[in-house]
Structure 1
């Protein structure tokens, strides 16, 4: 069984839609700026990555708007785009062979805050009945399933930033068990006072007011990340089922995956990211020398950056593989971050380019070949995507080029580097 990606839908702070996101990312266009969704002037952190130009009413029926949080609306639209990209039509006969597996870190925080404020200020009769589910971690999965008539195995994964990769891996497992198609990935968003305080409490959010210096992974100036909203939804299919469906375009294969959990701090045992990398490569049947690029987790916390740099160097050698972190242009998308990197890896394979890490100047002692400044033209066939969740989650996913692919286009036609 081969798990292939046939559709991609991206909603990101530097691009609404896959094409806009990819063009911006290859060109180094930034989506980080002052918080606009609420007045953050009195909070320690005042920068965020917010999806631009998104008007839910332009994409979704009015009946869905009262019952959905902002992040669920983003997820529904990303799913619509991914399914359209894959050429998937609603098919009642195939409904039970198609499911949804997404990841979430927070659920519908903005919806919850609004309803709690109504409860406190007006009374219980002013609280929406949709509060019963609009806040829940699994709400994106449920709404995508209902909207598209997907009645097969479904679920949600909650492992913070690692969750998006874990969800895609779970989709791959379900295909092996007989499902034909899974809508997977993750979209997160909690840019509201309640969500903001929760993120600040973790101690990893940058308090810089300058977008040029706020999020600098692997840099000696690293001082935390910028929170963001958005993510990506992917259509993952059994390869043979996709051929039978007449799919004309395949982005690539989910070739390998592994996850580990770090030991409790202070007990002297080493972090386990390197184990996750080696296990994912083994699952894919891939040697380190066959990997063309690593999409890094890029925490921008010095200790976490050091651990990731050491893990990459241990597996691939000093400066042994190009490394990139395009999330420097979006901010950290939590459960949506991994799927966006998977989308970027697949597009890198398609267009023969590695997008840049903007603004960061890598610490020499990390021994990383960090792609900075502008996109790098490379014939990418295999990519490794890394994600780590707060609390010790580590996930590694190997993405490979479509087998027997002869349709790759010149990367210069798809990506424009800065002049």
Structure 2
């Protein structure tokens, strides 16, 4: 029987659990380094160094400084990969290693790959366009034909590890990491033993910077400590960043049969949707997406111990998110946190990193804090965790994400057993 030929009765009851994490973040490379930095509220926001941003209105980003790609990526892959893909390959390697899974020991089509991207490898593309304009077509790399592509992370991870199971890429802006994990869960429920999934992005170059500036949503505050202050009266926009997380999503029974370590947690519920048109008069879609994710998980609002907020960093979107939370959970009805204030919003990598952070919070029974500089506006009516971690022993977490263009996504994770 192939991995896809699963009896219907078993497929209906298959549980998707996370057995491996690979994290590449501005405030920490590797799961435990990132987690220590997050619990201590150590920020990775700083003035951009990957390019000269002094001529732009925004100059602050969540930048990874200590990533030595030449030590972590095979030399043959260096000419054909962008920084985004190198980070994704590293995170995938770490996730598989963390899970103790050797894909070569599984059936040929037993492991798939589902990743998210926001726009592809723009740094690679910018360099090759500069070669084209400045030196001529003879100097454009042949690898440009695929290295820029938004599906390149899925492809390179698949080739690197021989993963031939169901694979795809999702482009839903900042919700992409959650949407990829929701798709991975579907594949597991349909019979795939495991799926490498999540999101990693890297767009710290002029070609990636300008489209974000054009939205008018980016913060132009030059002080990294004051640049990204969601749910605050001083909110002035978001700070972009690079990095994300790759997770190994696995069938719980398969994990037990191979003797895997205790899983980080279960992907218990997922939902996604779009906001209506701005002039429709209809309410935003986030509340409905939250309620559908809870319903999918068979969980009531009272069972949720912490919400990892989208935290847009702008008064209007922050208020809309707070109103959705107050409607579902009641005013100050659930602890809310936004550790992304320590990394910036990582585009397609951000919500995947939030899910990984939520799983670590469930593992250790502690809610990580929002950045210390964030002083929540009481008018939002939310219980924002700031200053220090809150040791409440959470067992169920809700992770939210919204993307430019009206995307909404929610994921419910439960503590592993």
TM-score range, shorter chain: over 0.9
Aligned to 2:189: 176
- 1:14-56: CA deviation from partner (whole Å, max 9, x where unpaired): 0011111000000000100000100111011001101120010
Aligned to 1:382: 396
Aligned to 1:397: 411
Write the distance in 1 (CA, Å) between the matches of 2:312 and 2:180. 20
Aligned to 1:36: 49
- 1:307-341: CA deviation from partner (whole Å, max 9, x where unpaired): 00000010000110000000000000011011111
Equivalences for residues 82-161 of structure 1 within 5 A: 82-91=95-104, 93-161=106-174
Flag structure 1 segments of 5+ consecutive residues without an equivalent: 406-419
2:88 to 70, 75, 79: 75
The structural deviation recorded for 1:93 is 4.6
Aligned to 2:35: 22
The structural deviation recorded for 1:261 is 0.6
1:293 to 306, 331, 344: 306
CA contact (8 A) 2:165 2:192 kept: yes
Write the distance in 2 (CA, Å) between the matches of 1:36 and 1:55. 16
The structural deviation recorded for 1:370 is 0.2
Aligned to 1:245: 258
SS of residue paired to 1:91: helix
Aligned to 1:272: 285
CA contact (8 A) 1:260 1:276 kept: yes
* 1:196 is aligned to 2:209: yes
* 1:281 is aligned to 2:281: no
The structural deviation recorded for 1:383 is 0.1
What is the root-mean-square deviation of aligned Cα atoms in Å? 0.8
- 1:365-416: CA deviation from partner (whole Å, max 9, x where unpaired): 11100000111111110000000010000000000012xx3xxxxxxxxxxx
Write the distance in 2 (CA, Å) between the matches of 1:5 and 1:161. 21
Equivalences for residues 198-237 of structure 1 within 5 A: 198-237=211-250
Flag structure 2 segments of 5+ consecutive residues without an equivalent: 1-13
The structural deviation recorded for 1:97 is 1.4
TM superposition score normalised by structure 1: 0.95
CA contact (8 A) 2:174 2:348 kept: yes
The structural deviation recorded for 1:90 is 3.2
Write the distance in 1 (CA, Å) between the matches of 2:243 and 2:225. 21
CA contact (8 A) 2:184 2:249 kept: yes
Aligned to 1:339: 352
The structural deviation recorded for 1:245 is 1.5
CA contact (8 A) 1:294 1:321 kept: yes
The structural deviation recorded for 1:95 is 2.9
CA contact (8 A) 1:14 1:52 kept: no
CA contact (8 A) 1:15 1:52 kept: no
SS of residue paired to 1:354: coil
- 1:221-248: CA deviation from partner (whole Å, max 9, x where unpaired): 1110001000000000011111111112
The structural deviation recorded for 1:61 is 0.7
Aligned to 1:368: 382
- 1:262-293: CA deviation from partner (whole Å, max 9, x where unpaired): 00112211101000000000000001011000
CA contact (8 A) 1:32 1:50 kept: yes
1:5 to 9, 18, 30: 18
SS of residue paired to 2:259: coil
- 1:167-195: CA deviation from partner (whole Å, max 9, x where unpaired): 00000001111111000000011000111
Aligned to 2:180: 167
Write the distance in 2 (CA, Å) between the matches of 1:202 and 1:229. 18
CA contact (8 A) 1:226 1:332 kept: yes
Write the distance in 1 (CA, Å) between the matches of 2:65 and 2:190. 39
CA contact (8 A) 2:103 2:111 kept: no
Write the distance in 1 (CA, Å) between the matches of 2:105 and 2:414. 32
CA contact (8 A) 1:16 1:52 kept: no
